Amino acid sequence: MSQRSSSSTVAPRIVDLIAQRGLCAVFQPIVDFEDRAILGYEGLIRGPAGTALETPYALFAQASAEGSAIALERAAARTCIEAFAKLAYDGKLFLNFSAGAIRQLADDRDGTFALLRNMGVDAERIVIELTEQSAIPDFANFLPAISVLRKAGAEFALDDYGTANASMNLWVRLQPDVVKIDRFFIHDIASDPLKFEAVKAMQHFAAASGARLIAEGIENEADLIVVRDMGIACGQGYFFGRPHAHPLRTVSDDAREALRAGHIAVFPGATRTVSASPPGGMASAKMIVHAPALERHATNNDVLELFNRLPNLHAVAVIEHNEPVALINRRAFMDRYALPYHRELFGKRPCMLFANASPVIIEKSMTVENMAKLLASDDQRYLADGFVITDQGEYVGLGTGESLVRAVTEVRIEAARYANPLTFLPGNIPISSHIARLLGHDACFYACYVDLNHFKPFNDQYGYWQGDEVLKFAANVLAQVCDPTRDFLGHVGGDDFLVLFQSDDWRERAQRAIQIFNEGAQRFYAPGDRLAGGIHGEDRRGNPTFCGFVTMAIGCVQVQPQAGGPMYSSEDIASVAALAKRRAKSEASGLVLVEFEESQALLQGRTAAATVD
């Protein structure tokens, strides 16, 4: 009894399963975003339902163990083609093959295309996908196989790009018609800046190579909107339909509505346009003073001759085998050398006598973050002596303390235009860029300028450190009420923020931000000031006055581009929103909306004025 039970659970051999026609086909739709239509289906194979071989993984694992993997691939393709022909669906059929199976298809091209003709599927409707597990040991013999299939009308695709063997090496060598981005990079791309950047790089390369991209693994609307707005043309995933023997003939209503969605994606990692730690190469290049150096065996007279010949040289480096070993500052050297008899006594002595044998050395590739640490270090010799700049340890030039301060400051100022250093929210450049994207897509949105009432008196009385805490609290409150997939939050500077709402319930979100902030801001006051309801301070003219608690004011402008209307700029939008903010500061509710008609008039007025100017 036990032996009979055991034998009944043994999985059949793959060759027997093929002979018994025990395989079945399922299909997953691939959708064209622009047409909102199904352009084709990926054919997938399944084993007998309810058995250990039902899943593709189990089937191919068993086939690999038996040495019949290519036979299973060919049988799977035949099964998919037969089933697809019976369905009589329009569109292309995507079929998975290993490199070995593709070579066999090309070798038996007459039989392959005869099968297609007999089944009623033209070769032009077939897209052959090279599976990611495929290793290609001999490209010279593989490329002709691809060429044969292409000449017959079939297209070639690289599957699951970004994983396993699907690499840029393959992309360059095989020049596929289609590249399918692996689902790893697409899942949660709406909230993952690194995945977004990886896919953007693939997109740039696809544009250069002429390949079409298909995003696999789309499972939710947020990821779909990001992929769509990036400009990727096609997608596949559970959001459009799971693999099924009788898949949808048309895109579902839910998917069509999502593709038609009017809101524009907020790309993840907007603050990452400039790295939080910019590379030092750019900064160090501005600091380098290309100056001659002296060898270790040089004399003090050699130093004097060099300083006299180059009167603007602030220091000279001492090197050995082109590596810096010391630094001689001009002022310190000349002051000492001017003493009586010093030239006669020390002129022929080694220059190391008056040298700083432990100079500050900055590697050319040092990050600006590490450069900035020098400014806060206890060792401040570089401010007077300057420092040595090296490239992989070898001397390339000198730098001054002044140039270091200037370089770090310039990089910090430039970085702040992209990301506010206090809140790490997007700065003015990403804000302008996102407004331009919204306007370029004719999106409807609400530009909301946020300002804090009575912030300056608070900052004056409690100090900048406490003021910064209030600003960070405001940023956190605004971030809480925003939908990160629809609403863009930026920090203009100081206590000014800008929210670009695409959420339908933007008003409730703005009101909630005002309420949360106004209640929470009181905790930053001393107990006595909380009881008094505010603080005594001065107005802008220096007159004594009583200032209430810091509160939030939001002025909103409705932007709804009109067909054939004037082109607005991000500066136009921000300026009109700032006007709405000034009105909001005098409103008890703290919230003012400039309705569409008035906002259009104001925007058109600014556009006309700019044209006259």
pLDDT digits (tens, 9 = 90+) for 319-362: 999 999 999 999 889 888 788 877 888 889 999 988 999 888 88
pLDDT digits (tens, 9 = 90+) for 231-254: 999 999 999 999 999 999 999 999
Please report which confidence band the pLDDT of residue 612 belongs to, taking 50, 70 and 90 as the band edges.
Answer: very low
Residues 382 and 430 in one domain: no
How far apart are the C-alpha atoms of 11 and 56, rounded to whole Å? 14
Chain mean position to CA 419: 14
Which among 411, 433, 452 is the end of a domain? 411
**Among 191-200, 209-218, 298-307, 372-381, whose mean pLDDT is lowest?**
372-381
Residues 253 and 174 in one domain: yes
| Contacts by residues 42-45 (CB-CB < 8 Å, ≥ 24 positions apart) | 42/94, 42/96, 42/129, 42/236, 42/243, 43/76, 43/77, 43/80, 43/81, 43/83, 43/84, 43/93, 43/94, 43/95, 43/96, 44/80, 44/96, 44/243, 45/76, 45/79, 45/80
Please report which confidence band the pLDDT of residue 306 belongs to, taking 50, 70 and 90 as the band edges.
Answer: very high
Residues 211 and 287 in one domain: no
Residues 215 and 287 in one domain: no
Q: What is the CATH number of the domain that holds 607?
A: 3.30.70.270
Name the domain count of the chain: 3
**Percent of the residues in the chain that have a pLDDT greater than 90, as a whole number:** 53
| CA-based nearest residue to 43, from 83, 98, 80, 90 | 80
Residues 39 and 183 in one domain: yes
In a domain, residue 195? The reply is yes
Residues 288 and 382 in one domain: yes
Q: What is the CATH number of the domain that holds 198?
A: 3.20.20.450
Please report which confidence band the pLDDT of residue 561 belongs to, taking 50, 70 and 90 as the band edges.
Answer: confident
How far apart are the C-alpha atoms of 102 and 70, rounded to whole Å? 9
What mean pLDDT do residues 101-125 have? 81
| CA-based nearest residue to 561, from 266, 264, 228 | 264
In a domain, residue 236? The reply is yes
What mean pLDDT do residues 210-218 have? 96
Alpha helices in 291-362 (DSSP H): 300-309, 330-337, 342-346
Residues 405 and 427 in one domain: no
pLDDT digits (tens, 9 = 90+) for 571-610: 888 888 888 999 999 899 999 998 767 767 766 665 554 4
C-beta of residue 366 within 8 angstroms of C-beta of residue 284 = yes
How far apart are the C-alpha atoms of 368 and 100, rounded to whole Å? 51
Residues 119 and 98 in one domain: yes
> What pLDDT score was predicted for residue 189?
93
In a domain, residue 274? The reply is no
Tokens of 93: 């059929």
Stronger pLDDT, 288 or 276, i.e. the higher one: 288
CA angle 504, 509, 510 (to 5 degrees): 110
Q: Is 307 exposed, middle or buried (0-12, 13-18, 19+ CB in 10 A)?
A: buried
Residues 294 and 248 in one domain: no
Residues 343 and 306 in one domain: yes
Question: 498 lies in which domain range?
Answer: 423-612
Residues 458 and 366 in one domain: no
Which among 261, 293, 313 is the end of a domain? 261
Which DSSP letter does residue 270 get?
G
